[in-house]
Amino acid sequence: MVIVQICVGSSCFLRGAPMIIDKLLKLVAFHEISNHLTLKGSFCLEQCSKGGVSIRIGDDLLTGVKCEDLPELFEAKILPMVRR
């Protein structure tokens, strides 16, 4: 099971966390991987100065993520972990 945590602290929330969550939910549904992945909200991941939203995928912490980054990030980071 792959765990993806999206920071929903005030800084990340204002920088687009709700849109990122929505886009991730759509990508998960499109790829039909909901049985292999858990999306969780997380309060501050302590990377507020990096810009964008902080996301933890397994043990990887990604910072400065913007909504337009998601398709590439999903293909490069999440799908390979799910398909193991």
pTM of the model: 0.88
Amino acid in position 15: R
**Which pLDDT does position 44 carry in this prediction?**
80
**Which pLDDT does position 57 carry in this prediction?**
94
**Which pLDDT does position 20 carry in this prediction?**
95
> Among the CATH numbers 2.40.30.10, 3.40.50.300, 2.70.50.30, 3.40.30.10, which is that of 2-82?
3.40.30.10
Q: What is the pLDDT along the chain (84 residues), one digit of tens a residue?
A: 899 999 998 888 999 999 999 999 999 999 999 999 999 998 887 777 777 899 999 999 999 999 999 999 999 999 999 887
Closest C-alpha to 7, from 38, 46, 34:
46
The span from the CA of 47 to the CA of 56, in Å, is 11
Instruction: Note the helical H segments in the chain.
Output: 10-14, 17-31, 70-73, 79-82
**25 in helix, strand or coil?**
helix
**Which pLDDT does position 10 carry in this prediction?**
87
Amino acid in position 61: L
| Phi, psi torsion values for 56, nearest 5 degrees | -110, 125
